[in-house]
Amino acid sequence: MKKRYYLVALFIILSAAVTGYKLAFTVPQQPQLLTVGESPSGKPLVCYRNEHAKPLDNNGQIDLMVWNIYKQNRPQWSKALTQLSSDKQLLLMQEASLTNEFKSWIVDNGWGGNQVSAFKVMGESAGVVNLARTMPSLACGYTEMEPWLRLPKSGIYALYPLSNGQSLAVVNIHAVNFTYGTQEYQLQLKALSEELEKHQGPVIVAGDFNSWNEKRLTVMKNALVSLGLQEVEFAPDHRIRFMTGLPLDHVFYSGLVVRNAKAPESDASDHNPLLLSFSLSQY
């Protein structure tokens, strides 16, 4: 009899957990890309296209911030983000939650861009975000399901026109984390690689790669180096590291010149920001 009660209790607990999960999380059937900045609410789409996009760079210079912003869970996120982004042309953020406060921050600070709605938490969209002073000519969202948590990780492939007539391909990625092997990790990088192989011009690939073991690090580097990309070195380098000592956040590039790259400390997220300055090769 006791065993029966235990089974009934376990069933009730599991049912409550599943119900709670479904109430808290909404996972779209396909990637959704939201346009932010131009409209406070945004609108869902698979790819964003803009035939009238203006050059991203400022006299041949591109100042960039890459940051896992931890769903804006730290109270000082807004102040830190305002300070760190004030002289940047492009922001690539991971774990960004599209709250009303964040949407207001985007509009108030003159940014525009796109977010991949990987899933919604209590109705608020979460995923990677690209913000810039000008909208891209193309932005497409993609997702890869976490096999254990059953919540997608997201990425954006975007094109930004440059003042020299070229287009800059930008990939913002939050890589699959909880997996037994590297299959899903490889699939996510493969989807990116196939798009980048088609591109003629400079490239930036950046984000939280969740590269917490040597196998993942090797898969990531092999995929990106095979495309002719180089990895940026930071000084100072306060990138967040896993217990293995391996950094989780990376930036790769080609067709550009690195002028400055640093990863300062910040208490506004559980990751530290990456701050970089590139120039176009012709300048």
Q: Domains in the chain, start-ordered, CATH in brackets?
A: 28-280 (3.60.10.10)
* Contact assessment for residue 211 and residue 186, using Cβ atoms and an 8 Å cutoff: no
Q: Which residues contact 281 (CB under 8 A, 6 or more apart)?
A: 202, 255, 256, 257
pLDDT at 241 over 70: yes
Greatest mean pLDDT among 30-34, 77-81, 182-186, 241-245 lies in 77-81
pLDDT at 166 over 70: yes
Task: Give the residue among 252, 269, 236 at the shortest CA–CA distance from 75.
Answer: 269
pLDDT at 189 over 70: yes
User: What is the overall mean pLDDT for the chain?
Assistant: 85
- Check residue 151 and give its pLDDT: 74
Q: Tell me the residue length of the chain.
A: 283
Confidence bin at 14 (pLDDT 50/70/90): very low
* Contact assessment for residue 150 and residue 126, using Cβ atoms and an 8 Å cutoff: no
pLDDT at 135 over 70: yes
What's the CA gap between 269 and 70, in Å, rounded? Answer: 6
Higher-confidence position of 251 and 6? 251
- Check residue 17 and give its pLDDT: 39
pLDDT at 197 over 80: yes
pLDDT at 38 over 60: no
Q: Which residues contact 130 (CB under 8 A, 6 or more apart)?
A: 90, 91, 92, 93, 113, 114, 115, 136, 139, 156, 158, 170, 172
